[in-house]
Structure formats: structure tokens, C-alpha cells
């Protein structure tokens, strides 16, 4: 039976080597906290899925909590230790860890150079392993949602899931009318369960409010619960899918799966099944520079089209959500985390777009300051944000063909991004971490593709198609 100690012991070394107290102290705390074995239950199931998930779960928590120790004095540290133990014990009992853990796994999977390669390998594979909702449970869910057994609703239904989703699993099926579909089914009540687990965890961490890093921890919780709320609602996802699908045409070579509303509910999403392979398999086929660049162009076009024409900010950019299809087409999946660009956020986006387009440093500073609530006297923070924003946006405002495969440039991005993570996004809007991550994520995919693209051209084409007049930028 796995104990927390074992889980922690299996963490990557460098994770334990940062900041005070010493790695030894931390692992002592952890081992003392974990005298009790992890209860049999979900953890075993997690083990079946590969203990890595559990490890990452622990690592993630660890990552959050480690922050307390940096600034705390002795007393606070003791207090934090106590709460840490409690938190760990809670982690033990989080039976629904799976969803949250997978989420984290994906986030990490978009940082190919931060995590050790085999770590990322396994994480990317997590998307493809059949997760553990057994057939009987599945049948109950389908019955609850679609009022009949899967065998009766569909012409055929694969008992084995072909992919794991963050909150459930995806099964192949055929409609009675003959269409091949992907049916995404959510684990019952999982979103609420994770949400309440994390709420409880936050309660135990209250003393941490005194520390500097609390804001960021809170941000991450806020970020997670926001994602959960959005992602748990498959009806919302279906609406987003339909909205996005209307933005693309045959000649774009970008495909959004069609939704079958008769067989979709808040917990079950039935959509057209796109045949294709994921990024890693695609790269294994050794596509030419031209082909890789074309994929990159499509990724960007899809993203910009949704942003400018659809006013949809597609946040969840990661390799699992893209499919390379026959004839060079690109399939875009997973519309669970879309931020509508409207209202106050719409205003901010316009400011960001101005900065992106003009490349003027004063526009960039203004956009950053407003977006992240930075004060004028926070020079360090302002500088860091400015550097990261410049790294993100340079290929766009400079125009010309940018070599996204440039390793030095990518490493610089990693450095800045990690630094941002380390210093946290205090006082940022709740979705700032998600947006920063998203910017990084597509850069990371373009890096893996070693694409060479003029992204300004694509963006300008997309803006032009909407008829948006931006002549004021010239002022």
C-alpha cells in the first residue's frame, strides 16, 4: 500500500532542493505527517492508472505549500507545519483527486523543458490511458442522462474508453444513423467533489494568509475552481463547440467536431469523432519543415479566428486538444475552458491587442499594469511582466518569419515564465495565470513543431476579416 512518504520519496529530486527549510527537514515533516498509510480506495485505483498521477498530485500540493517556508519565521513555520500535516492528511482522503490531478498533469505537460522528459512522456500518455469508470457505472450514468442503456441509445458503443478526459472518459460509439461519435462521460458529481475538497483544503491553509505567497495560492485555487465550474458543464461546452464550428469553413482545413445535442446533457457530450493523431505521434512521422510550419499556422489561425471573429479566448491550449488529420487538416477539441471576450475583459483585450499590434513599450506597460493590477512603485514586478509580455508578443509585433524552433529564445521564455510562477501573479485577475499559461502553451507547441511563421500576417488577416477598424492605433 502506497504511503504519502513513498509518494513524496518518488518526487523528482530538485523539487525538494529549493529554498529553506532544507530538503531533509521537509521530507522529515512529510514522513512524520504520513505515519498513517494512505487509505485503500481511490489511491489504489490511482495506482492502477500509474502512481505518477498520485505523485504529481502530491507534488502539486507540495509546490503550493512550499511557498510558506520561504518567508515565514520560526513560529509561523511551526504553525504552517501543523497545517501542512493536516493538508497532507486531507490529500490522503481526497477520493476524487483524479480530475484535479489530471488537470495538473496537463499543465505540466505543456512545459517540455521544465519537467524531466520521462515525466512529460508519461503525462502525455495519461490522456490516452483508459481511466477507471467501469462499465456498470457508465451504464448507470448513460441511463440517468439519456434515459436508456448505451446499447439501446447507440447502434454500437465501445465498452473500453479510448481516451481519458479530465473529469471523465471518452468512448467511441456509432449513432443509429451511422455517424462515428466520441461520447464524453463525466464521473458522477466529480466537479462538486473536487471543488469541496479544495475548499476544505483552503480552510486548513488559512494561517498561510499571513504569508506573502498566500495571494498566489489563492489565485491557483480560484483558477482551479473556475476551470472546474466551466469544464464540468458539458452543455456549455456544447454551446461553445457549436459557436466555434460556425467560424470555420472547408478551405480553412480546421475542423471542430459537430455536437449531437439529442445525445448530450450536462454530463454526457456526444460529438463527431475526429480521426487523427496527436502532436507527439505526428512528430514521430518526421514531417517536413513545410508541413510542420503549416500545422503551426493552422494552430495560430484557429486560435486567432476564435479570438477575433468568435470573441472566444481558447485557454486550454495543449497537445491533447489538437488532432492532426488526413490531408493536413487540424482538429481542435475540448471547448471546456473558453473565456468569452466581453464586458470589462473585452476592454482589456482591446488594450492588449493594441500593445500586440503596435509593439510600443508604453502600450505594453499600460496593458500589463491594468491587467495585473500593478502599482507604479513595483518596479521589479513591472519589469518581469514587461519582459514576459515582450517575449510572448515580439514575434507578433515584429512581423516577418519567426523561427519558433529557436532554442535560446524558448529557454528564455521558460526562464521568464518560471520566474513569473515563482513570484506569482499577486493581485492579478483570476484568469491571468490561465492566460499566461496559454500564451506559453502555444509557444511551446510551436517550439516542438520547430515552425517558422509570420504570425503578424495571420493575425492581421483574421482581424481584417472581422472588419474591425484599428486605425486609432496609429495615433
Ligand X SMILES: Nc1ncnc2c1ncn2[C@@H]1O[C@H](COP(=O)(O)OP(=O)(O)OP(=O)(O)O)[C@@H](O)[C@H]1O
Instruction: Kindly state the smallest distance separating residue 272's Cβ from ligand X, in Å.
Output: 6
Q: Among residues 56, 104, 190, 420, which is the contact residue for another protein, using CB under 8 A?
A: 190
Instruction: Kindly state the smallest distance separating residue 352's Cβ from ligand X, in Å.
Output: 25
Taking CB under 6 A as the binding criterion, the range among 77-85, 158-166, 347-355, 404-412 that sits at the site for ligand X is: 158-166
Q: Quick one: 211 or 265, whose CB is closer to another protein? A: 265
User: Is 177 among the residues that bind another protein (CB under 8 A)?
Assistant: no
Q: Which does 175 bind (CB under 5 to 8 A by kind): ligand X, another protein, none?
A: none
Q: Which does 166 bind (CB under 5 to 8 A by kind): ligand X, another protein, none?
A: ligand X
User: Is 279 among the residues that bind ligand X (CB under 6 A)?
Assistant: no
Q: Which does 182 bind (CB under 5 to 8 A by kind): another protein, ligand X, none?
A: ligand X
Q: Among residues 140, 149, 407, 461, which is the contact residue for another protein, using CB under 8 A?
A: 140
Q: Quick one: 3 or 143, whose CB is closer to another protein? A: 143
Cβ within 8 Å of residue 422, ≥6 positions away: none
User: Is 191 among the residues that bind ligand X (CB under 6 A)?
Assistant: no
Q: Which does 45 bind (CB under 5 to 8 A by kind): ligand X, another protein, none?
A: another protein
Q: Quick one: 167 or 374, whose CB is closer to another protein? A: 167
Taking CB under 8 A as the binding criterion, the range among 13-21, 68-76, 137-145, 278-286 that sits at the site for another protein is: 137-145
Q: Among residues 17, 137, 206, 229, which is the contact residue for another protein, using CB under 8 A?
A: 137
Instruction: Kindly state the smallest distance separating residue 41's Cβ from another protein, in Å.
Output: 5
Which residues of the shown chain bind ligand X in the complex (CB under 6 A)?
102, 106, 127, 163, 165-167, 170, 182, 184, 231, 257, 271-274, 316, 320-321, 333-334, 336
Binding region for another protein (CB under 8 A): 39-42, 44-45, 95-96, 133-137, 140-141, 143-145, 187-190, 192-193, 266-267
Amino acid at each position: 500500500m502506497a504511503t504519502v512518504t513513498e509518494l513524496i520519496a518518488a518526487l523528482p529530486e530538485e523539487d525538494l532542493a529549493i529554498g529553506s527549510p532544507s530538503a531533509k527537514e521537509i521530507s522529515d515533516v512529510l514522513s512524520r505527517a504520513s505515519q498513517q498509510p494512505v487509505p485503500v480506495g481511490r489511491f489504489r485505483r490511482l495506482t492502477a492508472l500509474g502512481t505518477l498521477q498520485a505523485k504529481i498530485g502530491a507534488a502539486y500540493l507540495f509546490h503550493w505549500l512550499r511557498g510558506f517556508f520561504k518567508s515565514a519565521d520560526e513560529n509561523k513555520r511551526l504553525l504552517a507545519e501543523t497545517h501542512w500535516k493536516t493538508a497532507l492528511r486531507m490529500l490522503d482522503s481526497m477520493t476524487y483527486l483524479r480530475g484535479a490531478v489530471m488537470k495538473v498533469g496537463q499543465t505540466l505537460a505543456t512545459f517540455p523543458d521544465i519537467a524531466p522528459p520521462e515525466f512529460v512522456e508519461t503525462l502525455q500518455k495519461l490522456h490516452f490511458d483508459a481511466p477507471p469508470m467501469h462499465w456498470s457505472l457508465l451504464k448507470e450514468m448513460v441511463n440517468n442522462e439519456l434515459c436508456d442503456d448505451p446499447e439501446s441509445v447507440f447502434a454500437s458503443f465501445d465498452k473500453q474508453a479510448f481516451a481519458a478526459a479530465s473529469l471523465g472518459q471518452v468512448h467511441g460509439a456509432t449513432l443509429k444513423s451511422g455517424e462515428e461519435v466520441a461520447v464524453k462521460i463525466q464521473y458522477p458529481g466529480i466537479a462538486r467533489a473536487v471543488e469541496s475538497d479544495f475548499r476544505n483544503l483552503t480552510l486548513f491553509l488559512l494561517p498561510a494568509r499571513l504569508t506573502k505567497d498566500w495571494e498566489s495560492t489563492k489565485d491557483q485555487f480560484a483558477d482551479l475552481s473556475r476551470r472546474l465550474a466551466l469544464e464540468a458543464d458539458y452543455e456549455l461546452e456544447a454551446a461553445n463547440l457549436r459557436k466555434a464550428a460556425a467560424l470555420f469553413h472547408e478551405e480553412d482545413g480546421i475542423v471542430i467536431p459537430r455536437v449531437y445535442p439529442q445525445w448530450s446533457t450536462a454530463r454526457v457530450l456526444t460529438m463527431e469523432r475526429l480521426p487523427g493523431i496527436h502532436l507527439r505521434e505526428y512528430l514521430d512521422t518526421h514531417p517536413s519543415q513545410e508541413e510542420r510550419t503549416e500545422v503551426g499556422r493552422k494552430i495560430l489561425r484557429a486560435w486567432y479566428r476564435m479570438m477575433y471573429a468568435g470573441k472566444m479566448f481558447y485557454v486550454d491550449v495543449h497537445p491533447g486538444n489538437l488532432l492532426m488529420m488526413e490531408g493536413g487538416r487540424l482538429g481542435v477539441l475540448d471547448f471546456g475552458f473558453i473565456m468569452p471576450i466581453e464586458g470589462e475583459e473585452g476592454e482589456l483585450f482591446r488594450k492588449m491587442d493594441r500593445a500586440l499590434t503596435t509593439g510600443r513599450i508604453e502600450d505594453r506597460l499600460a496593458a500589463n499594469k491594468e491587467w495585473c493590477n500593478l502599482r507604479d512603485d513595483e518596479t521589479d514586478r513591472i519589469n518581469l511582466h514587461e519582459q514576459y509580455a515582450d517575449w510572448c508578443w515580439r514575434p507578433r509585433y515584429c512581423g516577418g518569419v519567426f523561427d519558433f524552433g529557436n532554442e535560446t529564445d524558448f529557454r528564455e521564455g521558460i526562464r521568464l515564465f518560471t520566474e513569473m510562477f515563482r513570484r506569482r501573479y499577486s493581485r492579478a485577475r483570476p484568469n491571468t495565470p490561465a492566460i499566461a499559461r496559454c500564451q506559453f502553451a502555444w509557444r511551446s507547441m510551436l517550439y516542438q513543431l520547430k515552425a517558422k511563421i509570420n504570425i503578424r500576417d495571420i493575425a492581421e488577416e483574421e482581424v481584417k476579416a472581422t472588419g474591425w477598424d484599428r486605425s486609432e492605433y496609429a495615433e
